[in-house]
C-alpha cells in the first residue's frame, strides 16, 4: 500500500477506520486493531507537520471548552487548523479518559496557543510535571 511519496506528498485527507470492540480477539503483541503488512510495504507520506503533540500549560477542568498549550519555543509555530481533530490524552490511570475533539479556533498560535474545542471536556486533564 502506498499513499504519496517523499517527493510528492499526499495532501488530501485519508481516513482509515478500524471497527471492533475491546472484547474482539487479539493478535499477540499487536492487540485487536492493527494496520499491518505481511511480506509487503506500507509507505505513507503526508504533509509534514513540525509539531504533532505538545503538553498542556494549565490543567483543563471537567467542562472546559478551551485548553492552553505549552509555550512554543525555538521558533516553532503550531500549524494546527480550525476543523482538525485532536486527542487530549488521559492524565489519570484510566486510558479511556482520552478525549477526541475538533478545533473551533486557535489564538496566540506563535506563543502560548489557546485552543477552543467543539464540546466541553468530560474529564480533568492535569498539566503538572
Domain residues for the domain of 15 are 1-48
Residues 128, 114 share a domain: yes
Residues 56, 41 share a domain: no
Give me the pLDDT at residue 75, please: 67
What is the domain count for the chain?
2
Residues 129, 67 share a domain: yes
Q: Which of 107, 111, 27, 114 is nearest to 64 (CA)?
A: 114
Highest mean pLDDT among 25-34, 35-44, 49-58: 49-58
Task: Give this prediction's pTM.
Answer: 0.74
Q: How confident is the model at residue 72 (pLDDT cuts 50, 70, 90)?
A: confident
Mean model confidence pLDDT for the chain = 90
List CB contacts of 17: < 8 A, sequence separation 6 or more.
Answer: none
List, as own/partner pairs, every contact residues 34-39 make where C-beta atoms lie below 8 angstroms and the sequence separation is at least 24, other chains included: 37/1
Q: Is the pLDDT of residue 120 over 90?
A: yes
Amino acid at each position: 500500500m502506498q499513499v504519496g511519496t517523499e517527493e510528492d506528498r499526499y495532501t488530501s485527507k485519508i481516513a482509515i477506520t478500524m471497527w471492533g470492540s475491546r472484547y474482539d480477539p487479539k493478535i499477540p503483541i499487536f492487540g485487536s486493531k492493527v494496520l499491518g503488512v505481511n511480506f509487503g510495504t506500507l509507505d505513507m507520506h503526508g504533509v509534514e507537520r513540525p509539531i504533532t503533540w505538545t503538553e498542556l500549560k494549565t490543567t483543563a477542568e471537567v467542562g472546559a471548552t478551551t485548553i492552553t498549550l505549552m509555550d512554543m519555543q525555538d521558533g516553532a509555530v503550531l500549524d494546527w487548523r480550525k476543523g482538525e481533530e485532536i486527542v487530549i490524552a488521559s492524565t489519570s490511570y484510566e486510558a479511556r479518559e482520552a478525549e477526541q475533539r475538533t478545533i473551533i479556533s486557535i489564538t496566540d498560535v506563535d506563543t502560548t496557543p489557546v485552543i477552543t474545542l467543539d464540546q466541553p471536556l468530560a474529564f480533568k486533564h492535569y498539566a503538572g510535571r
